[in-house]
């Protein structure tokens, strides 16, 4: 029975891998425009013959493409590339930032976004947003565990986004959520409360420099402080990266 179960598990894994491969192939064709919106997918049988896979594998791949908004089925007509399929929402999933190297890539992407956000916040902030930033600074200083520091860190950046008075900054910041903050679980695995607090206060020192510039309305200083904050984060993570 154990042998049969193992064979079944291997079969399921292989089928999933084949479906993954099909999904990647079709996604690439859609993203490059080889299969534009409205284009008809090959029939199940055509895919079976072309790729040497089973019908269940094709159906699994189609189900995944449909779930991602890339495929629509029309009864009696077949499967088609969804309208607007090439304009899918930008995604950053938890699985994609599970390693130090991935965190560094996200930090590099954040560099331009964060610096300009701080620049605008210094020009447009109101008293309520400054109060929100001060609250998050206090929460960060008081944090002694991962979830508390992440929540405070996220709240600080959200307050800056809100201070830009630009809904797109706020919406993108909300979209990234805790992914905007480098994962403490990646960097501080198995660390004690004192280590977490020391780390949180080091991050908060950067936050205070950004806050000071925003509070005084010095947009250029806010931009530079935000850039220094991201650069320090990259430098902090890089020694732990697989590829330096």
Q: Which CATH number covers residue 145? A: 1.20.120.530
Residues 219 and 108 in one domain: yes
85, 105, 211, 231 from 36: Cα distances, Å = 8, 30, 47, 40
Is there a single domain that holds both residue 132 and residue 227? yes
**Measured between alpha carbons, how far is 19 from 15 in angstroms, rounded to an integer?**
6
Q: Which residue range(s) make up the domain with 43?
A: 2-87
Which pLDDT does position 244 carry in this prediction? Answer: 45
What is the rounded distance in angstroms from the CA atom of residue 59 to the CA atom of residue 189? 40
Which residues in the chain come in under a pLDDT of 70? 1-16, 86-99, 177-193, 240-244
Query: Could you tell me if 81 and 112 lie in one domain?
Result: no
Residues 76 and 131 in one domain: no
In angstroms, the CA 55 to CA 188 distance is 46
Q: Are residues 216 and 110 in the same domain?
A: yes
- In this structure, the answer to whether residues 99 and 202 fall within a common structural domain is yes
Q: Specify the CATH number for the domain of residue 13.
A: 1.10.10.10
Q: Are residues 142 and 221 in the same domain?
A: yes
Identify whether residues 46 and 103 lie together within a single domain. no
Q: In the prediction, which pLDDT does 215 show?
A: 98
pLDDT of residue 92: 58
Residues 133, 205, single domain; the answer is: yes
| pLDDT recorded at residue 147 | 73
Both 29 and 49 in one domain: the answer is yes
Cα–Cα–Cα angle for 91, 95, 96, rounded to 5 degrees: 55
What is the reported pLDDT for 8?
33
């Amino acid at each position: 029975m154990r042998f049969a179960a193992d064979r079944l598990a291997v079969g399921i894994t292989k089928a999933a891998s084949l479906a993954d491969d099909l999904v990647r192939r079709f996604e690439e064709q859609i993203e490059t425009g080889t299969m534009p919106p409205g284009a008809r997918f090959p029939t199940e049988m055509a895919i079976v013959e072309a790729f040497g896979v089973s019908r269940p594998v094709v159906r699994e791949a189609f189900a995944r493409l449909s779930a991602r908004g890339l495929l629509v089925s029309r009864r009696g007509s077949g499967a088609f590339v969804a309208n607007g399929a090439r304009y899918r929402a930008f995604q950053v999933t938890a699985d994609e930032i599970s390693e130090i190297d991935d965190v560094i890539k996200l930090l590099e992407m954040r560099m331009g976004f964060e610096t300009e956000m701080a620049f605008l916040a210094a020009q447009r902030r109101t008293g309520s947003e400054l109060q929100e930033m001060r609250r998050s600074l206090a929460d960060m200083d008081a944090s002694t565990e991962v979830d508390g520091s992440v929540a405070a860190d996220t709240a600080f950046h959200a307050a800056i986004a809100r201070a830009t008075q630009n809904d797109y900054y706020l919406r993108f910041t909300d979209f990234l959520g805790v992914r905007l903050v480098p994962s403490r679980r990646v960097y501080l695995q198995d660390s004690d409360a004192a280590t977490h607090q020391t780390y949180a206060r080091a991050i908060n020192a950067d936050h205070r420099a950004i806050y000071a510039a925003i509070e005084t309305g010095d947009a250029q200083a806010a931009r530079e402080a935000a850039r220094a904050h991201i650069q320090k984060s990259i430098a902090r993570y890089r020694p732990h990266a697989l590829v330096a």
